[in-house]
A and B are shown apart, each in its own frame.
Chain A
Amino acid sequence: MAFTLYSLLQAALLVVNAIAVLHEERFLRHVGWGSDQGIGGFGEEPGIKAQLTNLIRSVRTVMRVPLIAVNSVTIILLLLFG
């Protein structure tokens, strides 16, 4: 069972990269998960879809710059050490 911390880190990096490439206009809007698509009334509880949409949008905003750095470091390390 080789599920190590290192593979967890790899998986996390890949998942965050995957979330970062979900483009708002070209893709999410057609699915119905765009950021301006009727999230719901002001006073009511946001549903799960609204929470997911918010999560995707915030992950994309926050992780954009650190992802560049982490990806570059990962590429260099993998090139050097295989």
Chain B
Amino acid sequence: MADPHPLFDDTSAAGGGGGAQPGRGYGGPPPVSSPYPPPASFLREPVSSLAVVYGSSLASQGRDIVDRNLDRFIPLGRLKYYFAVDTVYVGRKLGLLIFPFVHQVRGVRYQQDTPVAPRFDVNAPDLDIPVMAFVTYILVASLALGTQNKFSPDSLGLQASSALAWLIMEVLAVLLSLYLVTVNTDLTTINLITFAGYKYVGREVSPLLQNSRVWGQPPLGFCPPPSDTRV
């Protein structure tokens, strides 16, 4: 080809120009060594231009398929509604989670096709608190292990993976039960994940308030904890 394809202009000079094959990114200019022909010369063959076009069409097709299927299972467009929180909401929701007895109005106030952003309604489920609570739980559990001298950096990953596995099991169990009793419900999978994630808030608050095994000693000076405890 006499005219260089615009994707392949100056890959050696500009460094990081568009990749020839899908899925491969260039981190920097490819090394040019003098006895070998310049890296872009094989791309001027007519066959390789066909290969390039085919490859890029494959890439866009693959991306479409992935987007469509991913959208079927995890609606990514709606995820942003679950993270639209503000501090007033978080404060109120944490208060609700710890002390739910005074709450009068339960249930989200208006039904729509799109999930209600939690900014507008305290009852709306959100994903921000569960994610934060999950990470905090892993840190608190590692702290508890550390006060008993059982901590190692691998245990962080083990705790995280363990907690995630239990979460997935719980959501799958609820989904299976919902399917078996043929309940017609508006609950989506993401709602189930949020409700399962709320328990991590209580999971952290209770050890901190208890006869605390987290700290290895009583927080308020009450009876001492037994020596072989774990959180």
Binding site for B on A (CB under 8 A): 1-8, 45-46, 48, 51-52, 55
Contacts and interface: CB of A to CB of B under 8 A. Distances in A.
A3 B161 CA distance: 8
Contacts of A48: 180-181
Contact of B158 (A4, A8, A52): A4
B162 A1 contact: yes
Contacts of A8: 165, 168-169
A7 B137 CA distance: 21
Interface of B: 158, 161-162, 164-166, 168-169, 179-182
Contacts of A3: 162, 165-166
Contacts of B168: 5, 8
Contacts of B169: 8
At the interface, is chain A mostly helix, strand, loop or mixed?
Answer: helix
A2 to B, nearest CB: 7
17 contacts: A1-B162, A2-B158, A3-B166, A4-B158, A4-B161, A4-B165, A5-B161, A5-B168, A6-B161, A8-B165, A8-B169, A46-B182, A48-B180, A51-B179, A51-B180, A55-B179, A55-B180
B162 A51 contact: no
At the interface, is chain B mostly helix, strand, loop or mixed?
Answer: helix
A51 B176 CA distance: 10
A6 B168 CA distance: 12
A4 B162 contact: yes
Nearest to A48: B180
Nearest to A50: B182
Contacts of B162: 1-4
The 9 A-B residue pairs with the shortest CB-CB distance, nearest first, are: A8-B165, A4-B161, A5-B161, A51-B180, A3-B162, A5-B165, A48-B180, A3-B165, A1-B162
Nearest to A55: B179
B113 to A, nearest CB: 27
A7 to B, nearest CB: 7
Which of B158, B162, B164, B181 counts the most chain A CB atoms within 10 A? B162
Contacts of B166: 3
Nearest to B165: A8
A54 B181 CA distance: 13
Contacts of A1: 162
Contact of A51 (B158, B165, B182): B182
Contacts of A5: 161, 164-165, 168
A46 B182 CA distance: 8
Nearest to B166: A3
A45 B183 CA distance: 10
Given A3-B166, A5-B168, A55-B179, 18 more contacts: A2-B158, A3-B162, A3-B165, A4-B158, A4-B161, A4-B162, A4-B165, A5-B161, A5-B164, A5-B165, A7-B165, A8-B168, A8-B169, A48-B180, A48-B181, A51-B179, A51-B181, A55-B180
